[in-house]
Amino acid sequence: MPSKSRKQQQFFYAVKGAKNNPNAPANLRKVANSMSEKDIDDFTKGVVEFKTKKAILSVLKELQEPMYLNENDTGENTIEAIANTFHVKEDWATYIKPYVGQPFSPKELEALGNFKEKQPTTTARTEIWYNTTDSFGISHTTVIRKMKDSGQFSFTSFQKQERPTPDEDKTKEDDAGMNAGGPEDLDIGGPPQSPEGDAPPGSAVPPTGPTPEQDAEKEKEEAKDDIIVTKSILFKDEIKGAAILIEFLKKLDL
> Does residue 161 contact residue 138 with C-beta atoms inside 8 Å?
yes
* Residue ranges per structural domain of the chain: 6-67, 82-164+224-251
pLDDT of 77 over the 50 cut: no
Is the whole model's pTM more than 0.75, yes or no? no
C-alpha pair distances (Å), 43 with each of 20, 26, 56, 61, 114: 17, 20, 10, 16, 26
Give the bridge partners for 231, in sequence order. Answer: 84, 156
Weakest-pLDDT range from 8-22, 39-53, 105-119? 39-53
**What pLDDT is recorded for position 203?**
57
Q: Residue 190's Cα: distance from chain center in Å?
A: 67
Q: 97 or 72: which carries more pLDDT confidence?
A: 97
